[in-house]
Every structure is written in structure tokens, then in C-alpha cells.
A and B are shown apart, each in its own frame.
Chain A
Amino acid sequence: MSSLTPRTSEPATGTAPGTARGPARRRRIAPVPTLVLLLGALYCLLPVAWVVIASTKSGRELFSTFTFWPGTGLAGNLSDLHAYRDGVYWRWMGNSALYAGLGALLSTCVSAFSGYALATYRFRGRETLFNVLLAGVLMPPVILAVPQYLLLAKADLTDSHLAVLLPQILSPYGVYLARIYAAAAVPADVVEAGRMDGAGEWRIFTRVALPMMVPGLVTVFLFQFVAVWNNFLLPYIMLSDDEKFPITLGLYTLLEQGANTPALYTLVITGAFLAVLPLVALFLVVQRFWSLDLLSGAVKS
């Protein structure tokens, strides 16, 4: 990107009197990438802004007032949502948290084990196994939902929490990412040094490799959490009891109530707004793990 942009730094001699040019020159603002990024941000944030503003509007205001002018109905919408079928919304929220939280955690564990093993050990069939996993990355989870349903129906597990949790534990993309990250972040020398010191493989993995892999695993966790939180088709096919629905499915039932019943737009919009908040909070909390630099000092080059 930077090679495409004109350098905006002034010639050293052209400093006009009376202006504080010193620090600005060092920052080097590149207008084109900045503009592109701003446009990108606008593109992503505009729908969110719409949801935030629309959730403040009452049913009467929703379609009749100016789109980006806040309404007066937020409190009413929240209490309506809370009252809807004895607060089933919070149940959906709890279900989503369970599916996404526990699912992502288990998935991260599996990814960590297998990613580390694939990166550190040499065994016959390793590349084949890895290539199969790569093929799994290319396979959209959507097309697996129906076979997974039929499979779990054999085990009599459909319409249970496990039906949604189990299929999401193995994430090919997570394993892939963990392997790449482990290969880059866990030097073979460190593993070897651990063995020399008499540590077992499990100890090396948990005490030496795992801390080094944390930033990568946090990414895997976040990806998987967001993927499960937003997942629709898998729970849609697996679950029939709406007490077990995640939030995506719950909101969908509010929209599709049959032709003779108007969709509950205000509830859906307010519900969607609340459903975004945990994701935002998660990103803010987990962000700091990315700056960890455990590698430094482990190996002398």
C-alpha cells in the first residue's frame, strides 16, 4: 500500500515560519491509505450506527422519522424485549454465551494440541493429515450442517446443547492457524532444551510452548467465538426447542411469525443491538493479549 502513496513529507528546508512543522513531518500522514481506511471504517460502522440509532426508536418512529435521528423508545423497547415471553431473550443470550464461550474454548484447546503436534513432531502422514485439514478450511461449514444433523440424529443427540457444541469443537482453520503460529513462535531449540533438561513432552507443551502460543491461541479463540456467536444454520437444523436457541435463531423467529402477524421489528433491532455488545466487550478485553511478546529472550540469536 505504502508504495502506491505519495510521500507527503516536506523538504527539510521548506518550513514556514510560525508553524509547528517539526512533529507533523515525522508522522508522515499518507492521505490515500487514510482515506481508504476511513471509507472502510465508515462502510463497516454505518450499519452498526443504524442499529444503535434504530434501537432507540419506538414502533411508531421506526419508519416515519429521519433514519439517523435518535428516537425516544429505547427504554420501552428494552422493557418490551425483557417482557417478551417471560424474558426468553435472556435465555437465548445465555445459550449463545454457552455455545460460543465453551465451544470456542474447547475448539482452542483442540487447535492448540493439534497445531503444536503438527508443528513440532515429525511422523508419517503428517503432511497428508495437514492437507486434509487444509481441505477442511476450504469447505464451508454450511454444507456440513445437514450431514452433521443426520449423524447426530443417529446418536440421538439432536435438539440438545451438545448438538450445537460438538460439531464446532474441531475448527480446521483454528488448527491451521495454531500450526502456523506454533511453527513460528515455538523454536525447536527451546523444545530441545526442555528435553535436555529432562522435561516430559506434556510439561514442555504446557509450560514452555503454550505460553509462547498465547497470542495465536487468543486469535483462534476470538475467531471461533465470533463464528459460533454468529452461526445460524447449524443450530437452526439441530434445535427445535426454542429454549435452547442461540440469539441468532431467536431473533429470526421474531421476524418470521407467519404472514398474518407483523414482524416485531423494534424487538429484533433492539435484540440485535444488545447481541453485538458482548462481542465488542470481548474484543476490548482480549486485545491486550496480542501485544504479548513472550518470544523475546527465549533464544539468543
Chain B
Amino acid sequence: MPYTKRRRLVSSAVAVVLGATALTACGSSSDDGGARSGPVSLTYWTWAPGMDKVVDLWNKGPGKEEQITVTVKKQASGDTLVTKILTAHKAGKAPDLVQAEYQALPTLVSNDALADIAEHVGDVKDRFADGVWQQTTLGTDAVYAVPQDIGPMMFYYREDLFEEYGLSVPATWEQFAETARKVKKVAPDKDLTTFSANDSGLFAGLAQQAGARWWTTSGDKWKVGIDDGATRKVAEFWGGLVEEGAIDNQPMYTPAWNKALNTGKQIAWVSAVWAPGTLTTAAPDTRGKWAMAPLPQWSDGESRTGSWGGSSTAVTTDSRHKEAAAEFAAWLNTDGDALNALAKESGIYPASTSAQLSGAFTSPPEYFANQPDFYKKAARIAETTAPSAWGPNVNVAYTAFKDAFGAAAKNRSDFTAALGTMQKETVADLEKQGFGVAR
């Protein structure tokens, strides 16, 4: 039996495999270009439900006139999408447009995945609050995205139970603590709220309200201020409440948490403007019994809030039609019809200040029918949003938060130690990534 033929086959198969691995080692280059001629088609990665219907408005309206067609490719949200964008960018195949949360922008920019669209978006800056716009420029002259939705933080409480227990809505965090203790006295089996460590955005927003700036630059170095005075104040406050048992320490978004809200075991929730949507599914039986108020303040007479959530529309460096993409991004987030459709189809709270009081936002969310001025109040609160400062490894800080604070909340132990861990891990990761870090 001649085996030579077979041997040749095997060795050529090995060669193919080796050739393949050699290929992966090659780098990739992306061609650049902003000018366009003729029809343009763009792809857009977004997780917002119903975005395809909003984009249809563009494709049938202004997009048709300008021969710019946008195709929506619906994605799952979260940090994994950032990884996916960066992987695609490595191959030079990122889509033209991406939806990106504000805190992900520095990561994407530092990987050279987002294009500077300052010269293509015109005067859209005026449509947004300064604190919101500043997140898309990262404090530079460049513009890396157009703001889409925001999540100003607010205080939600059970109006009926507050009345029943003789509680008043806390205006300061000190009053908040007293309210929590009073709930324990009046109804020992109930809690005002819980401290949950499973969504880092909540804590980041609370720290932002207190004046923390977690990532700043000095010269060409990053400065990490997670373990600064403002954040420590917030950590000590919540840690103290958890330690003395004045509030619960169970995580949010679990079936148990839903049940606690639905049955009135927890009677308040520090959340953001999108809370009505969450409450509709989490606590369907308490519709119309909740009310919204501004977040408690650190000192009397102040009015500041943090933000929790929110995202923007960015153009990638891989796009061959950056100008067209930027034009679409500006339309999507400033045009009245587009914003109305976004509110209706995707349920977003718009970053554009003019949209916050028009269209869908002239009447309260269904769940809050008892509070007719819900969105008027929300718009006033949104104005007071404190500036935020994101860095290139927010995901690492967030993971460190979940681990360290999750354990601290569970054991009702020291929150400041957990904060120290978070700071240390964030700095270590920055250095590992090769960034200069100022001490």
C-alpha cells in the first residue's frame, strides 16, 4: 500500500494550519477618508430597542435626500460590547457608528477606535447641558460622540407608606439616615432601602454628586481619585448605615429585590430617571403609589445630582464615511422627530435639553400617573447634574467595586477598606496598560 500520497496530504495540511497562524500575527491597517461621492451606506451597532424604527425615519427622510442609508445591527449592551468593538477595530472592521456609554468613551478613544467629529457635527453643542457635553469631548477640543440619553439620579419613595409611617422626604443625606432609622423603629421588618454593590454605576453617580472626580489628567499622566475625600464620605455614609442595620444589604435586580419592592418591604430606591421602566416590571402591584423627589443633598440648600447610565452615538475610525456618519449622529440626537421616536420606541430619556419637555415628556410615565409634573421635575434635576470624569479603565474599577463592596456589604464590614482596594486595583491596571499614572 503506498502511503506517500497520504503523507504529502498530511504535511500540506500542517502547512495550511501553520500558514493560518502566521496570518493572525499580521497587523491590520484601516484606510481613512471623510469625503464622499455617491450613495453611502452605514452600519450602526446599538442596543436600544426599536432603534430600527427610528433609523427608518432617517432612511426615508433626510437620509434619502442625501443618499445616506443607515443599517441597524442590534447588539447586547454592556462592557462586552466595548470588547467586541475593540476586537472588530483590531481587524479594521468596526461599524461606522456605535452606541457607547459615556464611561466607555475614554476606553474607546485610548484605543484609537473613535474618530474626532468636531468639524462635522456643527453647532449641536448648544443642545446639551455642559456637564453632558463635556463627557463626549473628554476635556479636549475634539468631539468623540454626540450625547443620546442621560440618567440623572433621583430619589423614589412609596408616597403612601411614607405618609402611613409619618416620614418626610429627606432633603439631605443626614435626614436620609434618620429616615432609615425611623423606618426600623416604626416597622422593624421593613427597610428604607438597600445598599447594593451589583451595579457600580449607582455608586459612581453618588460619588459624582458628592464632587468626586475619579479620573483626571495632569500633564500626560492619569490621576486616579477614587479614594478621595468626596468618595470616602459617600462610602462611610452607606457603610455606616449598612453596619448599624439601618438599611438592607441585599443586592438589587434579584427576584428577592423585586419582591421587596412589590410588597413594600423596601419603601424607597435611590435611582435614576429610567426607574419607572424598572419599577413597572419589578413592582407591578404598586403602580401609582410611588413618587419621585430630588436626590438628598450633602449640605442644605445645595442642589446637585449624579448620573447613572446614559449613552452616546460615536463614529469609529474604521468608518470610510465619517462625515456622513457624524451627520446622522447629530440628526439622531437633536432632531425633534428623531428624539420623539427615540422616546416612544426605545424609551430613552434624551440628553437634548429641548426634548426633555416636549413630545413624549409632556405627560408623566404611566407608572407615575399620580405625579403629573414628573418630567418637569426631572428636567430641572437633570440641569443640576455634576460633571463626571471617566478614565480609560472604568470597567476595571467597576469590577473591583463589585468584588470589594459586594463582600463588604455582605459582611457589613468596613467600606473605606473596600474603597482602598478599588483605588489600588484601578491604578495597578492603568500602569499595566502602559499609562503614566501620577501619584
Q: Which residue of chain B has its CB nearest to the CB of A147?
A: B24
A64–B285 touching, CB < 8 Å: yes
Chain A 75-102 interface 0/1 with B at a Cβ cutoff of 8 Å (1 = within): 0000000000000000000000000000
Chain B 321-354 interface 0/1 with A at a Cβ cutoff of 8 Å (1 = within): 0000000000000000000000000111100000
The one of A63, A121, A154, A261 in contact with B255, judged by C-beta atoms closer than 8 angstroms, is A63
B433 at the interface (CB under 8 A from A): no
B359 at the interface (CB under 8 A from A): no
For chain A, the count of residues having a C-beta within 8 Å of the partner chain is 40
Q: What would be 15 A-B contacts, judged by CB atoms less than 8 Å apart?
A: A63-B259, A64-B284, A121-B6, A123-B3, A124-B7, A147-B21, A195-B1, A237-B84, A240-B43, A249-B76, A255-B76, A257-B48, A258-B77, A260-B274, A260-B347
The one of A149, A262, A263 in contact with B91, judged by C-beta atoms closer than 8 angstroms, is A149
Contacting B at CB under 8 A, from A38-68, are 59-60, 62-64
Knowing A240-B45, A253-B75, the reply to whether A153 touches B93 (Cβ < 8 A) is yes
B87 at the interface (CB under 8 A from A): yes
Residues of A with C-beta under 8 A to B75: 240, 242, 253
A69 at the interface (CB under 8 A from B): no
- How many Å lie between the Cα of A117 and that of B3 in the bound state? 11
Contacting A at CB under 8 A, from B345-367, are 346-349
A256 at the interface (CB under 8 A from B): yes
A146 at the interface (CB under 8 A from B): yes
B76–A123 touching, CB < 8 Å: no
B64 at the interface (CB under 8 A from A): no
- Apart from the given pairs A150-B91, A259-B201, A260-B273, 8 other A-B contacts in the complex at a CB distance below 8 Å: A64-B259, A121-B3, A149-B88, A240-B73, A257-B49, A258-B47, A262-B277, A262-B282
Q: Which residue of chain B has its CB nearest to the CB of A253?
A: B76
Chain B 300-330 interface 0/1 with A at a Cβ cutoff of 8 Å (1 = within): 0000000011010000000000000000000
Chain A 105-131 interface 0/1 with B at a Cβ cutoff of 8 Å (1 = within): 000000000000100011111000100
Q: Which residue of chain A has its CB nearest to the CB of B84?
A: A237
- How many Å lie between the Cα of A64 and that of B281 in the bound state? 11
B349–A260 touching, CB < 8 Å: yes
Chain A 229-267 interface 0/1 with B at a Cβ cutoff of 8 Å (1 = within): 000000011001110000001001101111111110100
Knowing A63-B255, A125-B10, A262-B280, the reply to whether A257 touches B285 (Cβ < 8 A) is no
Knowing A151-B20, A252-B76, the reply to whether A260 touches B259 (Cβ < 8 A) is no
A253–B74 touching, CB < 8 Å: yes
- How many Å lie between the Cα of A64 and that of B93 in the bound state? 45
Chain B 9-32 interface 0/1 with A at a Cβ cutoff of 8 Å (1 = within): 011001000001101101010000
- How many Å lie between the Cα of A241 and that of B74 in the bound state? 7
B281–A258 touching, CB < 8 Å: no
Chain A 254-297 interface 0/1 with B at a Cβ cutoff of 8 Å (1 = within): 01111111110100000000000000000000000000000000
Q: Which residue of chain B has its CB nearest to the CB of A124?
A: B7
Question: For chain B, which range describes its interface: under 10, 10 to 19, 20 to 34, or 35 or more residues?
Answer: 35 or more
A158 at the interface (CB under 8 A from B): yes
- How many Å lie between the Cα of A25 and that of B11 in the bound state? 60
A59–B281 touching, CB < 8 Å: yes
B92 at the interface (CB under 8 A from A): yes
A59–B45 touching, CB < 8 Å: no
Q: Which residue of chain B has its CB nearest to the CB of A126?
A: B10
- How many Å lie between the Cα of A197 and that of B48 in the bound state? 67
B348–A260 touching, CB < 8 Å: yes
- How many Å lie between the Cα of A63 and that of B24 in the bound state? 48
Residues of B with C-beta under 8 A to A125: 7, 10-11
A236–B93 touching, CB < 8 Å: no
Which 8 A/B pairs are nearest by Cβ-Cβ distance? A260-B274, A153-B91, A259-B309, A256-B76, A63-B258, A262-B281, A258-B77, A253-B76
B308–A259 touching, CB < 8 Å: yes
Residues of B with C-beta under 8 A to A153: 28, 88, 91-93
A236–B84 touching, CB < 8 Å: yes
Residues of B with C-beta under 8 A to A252: 76
- How many Å lie between the Cα of A213 and that of B71 in the bound state? 48
The one of B6, B24, B255, B277 in contact with A260, judged by C-beta atoms closer than 8 angstroms, is B277
B255–A253 touching, CB < 8 Å: no
A150–B3 touching, CB < 8 Å: no
- How many Å lie between the Cα of A60 and that of B311 in the bound state? 29
Q: Which residue of chain B has its CB nearest to the CB of A125?
A: B10
- How many Å lie between the Cα of A74 and that of B78 in the bound state? 30
Contacting B at CB under 8 A, from A143-182, are 146-147, 149-151, 153-154, 158
B6–A240 touching, CB < 8 Å: no
The one of B6, B258, B259, B274 in contact with A259, judged by C-beta atoms closer than 8 angstroms, is B274
B179 at the interface (CB under 8 A from A): no
- How many Å lie between the Cα of A63 and that of B255 in the bound state? 6
Contacting A at CB under 8 A, from B252-308, are 255, 258-259, 262-263, 272-274, 277-278, 280-282, 284-285, 308
Centre residue among A255, A256, A262 by max chain B CB count within 10 A: A262
The one of A117, A158, A249, A256 in contact with B6, judged by C-beta atoms closer than 8 angstroms, is A117
Chain B 401-427 interface 0/1 with A at a Cβ cutoff of 8 Å (1 = within): 000000000000000000000000000
B149–A260 touching, CB < 8 Å: yes
